[in-house]
Amino acid sequence: MAQCLFCRIAAGEIPAQKVYEDDAVLAFRDINPQAPVHILVIPKAHVESAACITPENSHLVARCFQVIAQLGSQLEGGFRVVSNCGPNAGQTVPHLHFHLLGGAQLAVQMA
Ligand code: 5GP
Ligand code: ZN
């Protein structure tokens, strides 16, 4: 999607602090971190949100979680994965992404 922010980051049109990249997945640092470590893990292909995961594209989610496991296992004490979906959850970028948060004790309350 030409105008999608994360598609443009995935295409290299907008710079990002990349921490991992392969043919299907990109991980980069969130521009407004909510924890000492705050990484966004995205499929390079455009999927709008967690509500749009299908049998045809679910392999992309598995690929994202392989990267999450790899990056998260380096975070002492564990980590949290969040995916906001739709306005009630506060999704601001309509391209599926997983927030990987860690590096400190995180808030117990999730909502
Ligand atoms: P959402 O609110 O949709 O769950 O998460 C979107 C995230 O993208 C936010 O945490 C926001 O800080 C981050 N973000 C928005 N624009 C940019 C950008 O241009 N670069 C980077 N690295 N992160 C961004
Ligand atoms: Zn996109």
Mutate to test the pocket of ligand 1, among 14, 34, 37, 40 (most ligand atoms within 8 A of CB): 40
pTM value is: 0.98
pLDDT of residue 46: 98
Q: Indicate the helix (H) or strand (E) that contains 69.
A: helix 58-72
Query: Helix or strand or coil: residue 99?
Result: strand
What spacing in Å lies between the alpha carbon of 32 and ligand 1's midpoint?
Answer: 7
The pLDDT value recorded for residue 11 is 97
List, in order, residues 6 or more apart from 93 with CB less than 8 Å away.
4, 5, 6
Per-residue pLDDT of the chain (111 residues; tens, 9 = 90+): 889 999 999 999 999 999 999 999 999 999 999 999 999 999 999 999 999 999 999 999 999 999 999 999 999 999 999 999 999 999 999 999 999 999 999 999 999
pLDDT of residue 2: 85
